[in-house]
Structure 1
Amino acid sequence: MHSYKAPRLDGFQPIFYKTYWNIVGRDIHDMIVASFTSGTTDPVLADTLVMPIPKVDNPMSLKDFLPISLCNVLLKLVSKILVNRIHLYLDSFIGPL
């Protein structure tokens, strides 16, 4: 994850977690382990905000905007861990592209 991505709904950029990992890392690790153990996550982590970003100087219609999703950094972290764990098996799930 790029360190200075736009702040998420929780207000934190990835740089916060990188800078203060020595303080917050254990709690994040425990949250991720609990998520994998229970098979659930806190629903607040899944909150995502879709923001329209103008593609032109004077946008007049929806096609003049590019939507971006502002997802919680912790949700992205859990997602990346899941993908890294199952990437070897993805071809058998969805087939080669």
Structure 2
Amino acid sequence: MILEAAMLQVKQGMEKEYEETFREASKIISSMKGYITHELQRCIGFKGKYLLLVKWETLEDHTVGFRQSKEYQEWKKQLHHFYDPFPTVEYFENVQL
């Protein structure tokens, strides 16, 4: 399992519209092969800052399966105009303790 973590900065004054649009766009990502779950967290200390966490079965399920799909084009169309700057995305794997 891979955890995708994206730090998102939404343009000032667009937060409510973003959250509503994200709810709808969630249907897109949750339908993709390899998708496990996702959550969107709103930052308490910085207005417009969000953390998106998505669990994928494999890295390629996100980087190839989702990012190179027609569904991603729709995701991008719905959400990317809210961000400034463009999100930073990093990937993590569980450390067995």
- Scaled by the length of structure 1, the TM-score of the pair is 0.26
Larger relative contact order (Cα-Cα within 8 Å, sequence gap ≥ 6): 2
- Which one has the bigger helix percentage? 1
